[in-house]
Each structure stands twice: as C-alpha cells, then as structure tokens.
Amino acid sequence: MKSRPMQEIGIEQFMLPLSSRQHRGTRVPRRHFRSHPGIPSDRVRLLKFVGLFAIGGTEKQVINMVRSIDSSRFDVHLACFNRWGQLSKEIETLGIPISEYRINCLYNYQTVRQQIRFAGFLKRNRIQVVHAYGFYSMVFAVPAARLARVPVVVASIRDTGELLTPLQKRAQKAVCRLADSVLVNAAAVREWLVGQGYNERKIEVIHNGIASDRIDGGGGGQRLRRELGLPPNVPVVAMLSRLNRMKGGAFFLEAAAAVASRFPEVRFLVVGDVGCGEKSYREELEHQAIRLGLGDRVLFTGFRLDIPDILSELSVSVLPSLSEGLSNVLLESMAAGVPVIATKVGGNPEVVEDGVNGLLVPPGDPQALAQAMCRLLERPELARYYGQAGKRRIAEGFSLGRMVRQTEQHYLNLLPGAGPRQASAAGEVEA
C-alpha cells in the first residue's frame, strides 16, 4: 500500500486502532476511564504529545509549560514524532523522559504499529492525562490514548484551520469528539470551533503565557547589530514569524517599501523561516523585496534563538497575519516593551487594544500597515507609551504563571478522583 503525504490525510484515514463501537464519534462513559489501581496519589502522570521541536509558538509554549509545571504534583512525560528541531537541545536539558514515534503519514501499517506501541507505553507507565497539540499529534495520539483507556485526554487547537484541507477539518472534528476537552489559546479560536459545530461545553480558553524575565535582552544588542550589519542607532522595524502565506509577509514588504521612501535610515528585518519543503516561498519574498527596491534595507535572518536580543533593538514589531490564534511573538514583543502593530484578526484584539497599548490594522492592507509604521516612527514618544502600556498588559493578563496555574487546574478538574490537596496545589503557582 502506497503511503500518502501527511498533509493529504483526511477523515477516512485517522480511525486506526479503535476496535469497539463506542469509540466511533461518541464519548465513552467516564466509568471506563477510572485510574488504574496502584497509581500513586501524590503525582499525576501527564504526557504531552507534540510533533517536533522546531521553532514555533506551540513548541515554545510546551517547553515553557513543562519547565514551569509543579513537579511535586505532576510527573511529566513528552512524546513526539521526531526529536528533530532547533529547540531539541533546550528540551533535553530539562531532563524529561521523551518517547519517539516516527511516522511518515497518518495511514499505513507502520503508523498502526506505532499507535499500538504508544498505547502500550501509556498503559505501562499508567499515564493519567494525555495532552496532544496540533492536528497531526491529535490524530495520532487521541485515538491511541482512548485505546489505552487513559482517564483524561485533552486536545489543543491553536488556530482557525486555514492551513487544513476540508477533509483534515473533518478529521480534526471527529478526533476532538473523542477527547474529554479541547483547549484553545484564544476566544476567537473557540468561536470558530463552535461555528464549525464543535461541542462548546468541551472547549476551554487558556491564553498563552509569557515569562517576562526571559524576554529581557542579555546585553547582546550591539553584537547583534554588528553581526547583521545594522548601523548603530538606526530604527529597526521587524516581522518575527514562521514564514507562510497566512503570516502576511508580502504585505509587510509592500508596507516597508512605502515607509522606506519617507524614512531612508530605517532598516527592516524578517526574522523566521519557512518549514520543510517550502523553500520557494522565502525565495518569493526575497525576490519581492528586490523588486520593491528595498535592496540592503531588508534582511532575512532565518530562524534565530536570540529573540530577546533582537527585541531589545527594535523600534517597532509588526504582525501582519491574515489569520492568528494567539501569537507568542505578539506577547513577547509587548513583554519586552516594544511597540506593536498587528492585524485585527483572531486573538490579536484580545491582547492589543487599538490606540491604548498598540495599533491594529485591517488584514491584507499594506497602506494601513505603512501608515501605522510611519505614525510610530514619526512619534517616538507615542511608541514608547505604547511599549510600556503593552508591557503592563502582558504582566497583568498573560503571565506564564497564570497559564500554568489554569492548565494544571484544568487537568485536575477533568481527572476522576483528584483530591482537594491536588486541586489546591494548582492555585499555588505564582502568577
């Protein structure tokens, strides 16, 4: 049987190892998922499943979560398809057990074997909570966790599905019916799912959280300017994002060309890169920059791990997305005190209040984007005001401690027999 690429998988191809009728699109009664006898009552056995450890918002949130979760209450395990990724070294330093399940598509005999292997791992280690992040991880892990009779299964959706095919959307919806809960990172994602027919009682919103103390630059700003060839003291405007068409890179470049004609000293950065097999899109953006006459005014840096140093040198951070869940880059920029411009899509308005702690512009409108950039470059005192207001907004409403506390409590609320001592412990995480 010939394997199909993962991006082509649809609804008819994900129900792999489920054998009983009760698993087909209906929730199994809670009594079937009571804790295994002998599970220690002092710590909850939690497994998080993420595809890779590439640089991305979801991967960063998972790392921050497992680094900060209360280890006296949760025994954390990780699982993935492949340990590859720019963040793999960081995750290894945490000393958390990682199991790997390599597949090249979601439907072949090898994938079935890996799912059965994963289910066996869950049983042997008496995992009590499985939390899977993203389409491929959910389609693989959620049915296997149900096969293993894991007491609590949580799915995470962190976007509004623009990159999924219609069949993949159907598959995701069917998988989420098997989960006890669907965690989303923005009210906008919840509204989209409800509009798609998801069970709204299962959907819980927990916004992303940022550790502000890890965003402060380490004094490497001048080194960074020398490395990137940026003149000292010139304003720098950046777009920090994984590069795909939904992130609006083409509109950023069009706006940059308009700004460059008014502010000849400004430099522009595109920080991030394409995923595997998408090299042509970055080349398309680079050619567009040349056509627009930006020349050496714009620099494509690729993926960077020194984001705090980059943020310390920015005059403006721009998020020109056509669609968003809740952007970590937006939170990180604001936490660093950088004035932000974002499009009015997805969860962006849940963080940025236009004219109060940043600026919002319509998506796909390079003229409005350019006007907002010029406004902040012309009025540095306004830019500083927005930067400080944004920093306060993140500290008050989007801290890592808040996200960890709410997620821990969510697990405990779902877990049968979680005692008061465990539940109260979740509230002890520092906000």
Residues 82 and 193 occupy one common structural domain = yes
3-state helix/strand/coil string of the chain: CCCCCHHHCCHHHCCCCCCCHHHCCCCCCHHHHCCCCCCCCCCEEEEEECCCCCCCHHHHHHHHHHHHCCCCCEEEEEEECCCCCCCHHHHHCCCCCEEECCCCCCCCHHHHHHHHHHHHHHHHCCCCEEEEECHHHHHHHHHHHHHCCCCEEEEEECCCCCCCCHHHHHHHHHHHHHCCEEEECCHHHHHHHHHCCCCHHHEEECCCCECHHHCCCCCCHHHHHHHHCCCCCCCEEEEECCCCHHHCHHHHHHHHHHHHHHCCCCEEEEEECCCCCCHHHHHHHHHHHHHCCCHHHEEEEECCCCHHHHHHCCCEEEECCCCCCCCHHHHHHHHCCCCEEEECCCCHHHHCCECCCEEEECCCCHHHHHHHHHHHHHCHHHHHHHHHHHHHHHHHHCEHHHHHHHHHHHHHHHCCCCCHHHHHHHCCCCC
Residues 129 and 164 occupy one common structural domain = yes
Query: What is the structure's pLDDT at 429?
Result: 41
Q: Is residue 354's pLDDT more than 80?
A: yes
Q: Is residue 89's pLDDT more than 90?
A: no
Give the pLDDT band (50/70/90) at residue 74. Answer: very high
Q: Averaged over 79-91, what is the pLDDT?
A: 79
Query: What is the structure's pLDDT at 254?
Result: 98
Query: What is the structure's pLDDT at 336?
Result: 95
Query: What is the structure's pLDDT at 82?
Result: 86
Q: Averaged over 195-215, what is the pLDDT?
A: 92
Residues 329 and 250 occupy one common structural domain = yes
Q: Is residue 431's pLDDT more than 80?
A: no
Query: What is the structure's pLDDT at 163?
Result: 85
Residues 110 and 144 occupy one common structural domain = yes
Query: What is the structure's pLDDT at 391?
Result: 95
Q: Return the percentage of the chain with pLDDT > 70, whole number.
A: 85
Q: Averaged over 190-208, what is the pLDDT?
A: 96
Residues 177 and 300 occupy one common structural domain = no
Q: Is residue 65's pLDDT more than 50?
A: yes
Residue 91 included in any domain: yes
Q: Is residue 114's pLDDT more than 90?
A: yes
Residues 211-232: tens digit of each pLDDT: 887 776 556 778 899 999 999 8
**How many Cα atoms occupy the beta-carbon half-sphere of 344 within 13 Å?**
10
- Compare 301 and 88 and report the one with higher pLDDT: 301
Query: What is the structure's pLDDT at 33?
Result: 36
Residue 431 included in any domain: no
Residue 279 included in any domain: yes
Give the pLDDT band (50/70/90) at residue 41. Answer: low
Q: Averaged over 236-256, what is the pLDDT?
A: 95
What is the rounded (10 degree) CA torsion for 53, 81, 185, 398?
A: -30
Residues 291 and 334 occupy one common structural domain = yes
- Compare 28 and 245 and report the one with higher pLDDT: 245
Residues 143-183: tens digit of each pLDDT: 999 999 999 999 999 999 888 999 999 999 999 999 999 99
Q: Are 326 and 305 in contact (CB under 8 A)?
A: no
Residues 119 and 185 occupy one common structural domain = yes
Residues 26 and 91 occupy one common structural domain = yes
Q: Is residue 384's pLDDT more than 50?
A: yes
Which one of 26-30, 57-61, 183-187 scores highest in mean pLDDT? 183-187
Q: Is residue 61's pLDDT more than 60?
A: yes
Residue 158 included in any domain: yes
Residues 241 and 377 occupy one common structural domain = yes
Query: What is the structure's pLDDT at 18?
Result: 39
Residues 39 and 55 occupy one common structural domain = yes
Give the pLDDT band (50/70/90) at residue 36. Answer: very low
Residue 305 included in any domain: yes
Residues 410 and 393 occupy one common structural domain = no
Give the pLDDT band (50/70/90) at residue 360. Answer: very high
Which one of 31-40, 223-232, 233-242 scores highest in mean pLDDT? 233-242
Residues 8-20: tens digit of each pLDDT: 333 333 333 333 3
Residue 1 included in any domain: no
- Compare 307 and 33 and report the one with higher pLDDT: 307
Q: What is the mean pLDDT of the chain?
A: 86
- Compare 119 and 425 and report the one with higher pLDDT: 119
The structural domain count of the chain equals 2
Range of the domain at 42: 6-208+399-426
Q: Averaged over 390-404, what is the pLDDT?
A: 95
Residue 405 included in any domain: yes
Question: What is the rounded distance in angstroms from the CA atom of residue 320 to the CA atom of residue 371?
Answer: 13
Query: What is the structure's pLDDT at 277?
Result: 60
pTM of the model: 0.83
Residue 238 included in any domain: yes
Q: Is residue 293's pLDDT more than 60?
A: yes
Residues 86 and 140 occupy one common structural domain = yes
Q: Tokens 């984007």 identify what position? A: 369
Q: Is residue 103's pLDDT more than 70?
A: yes
Query: What is the structure's pLDDT at 1?
Result: 40
Residues 400-414: tens digit of each pLDDT: 999 999 999 999 999
Q: Are 11 and 170 in contact (CB under 8 A)?
A: yes
Q: Are strands 359-361 and 340-343 parallel, antiparallel or unpaired?
A: parallel
Backbone angles phi, psi at 170, to 5 degrees: -65, -40
- Compare 185 and 19 and report the one with higher pLDDT: 185
- Compare 96 and 182 and report the one with higher pLDDT: 182
Q: The domain that contains 181 carries what CATH number?
A: 3.40.50.2000
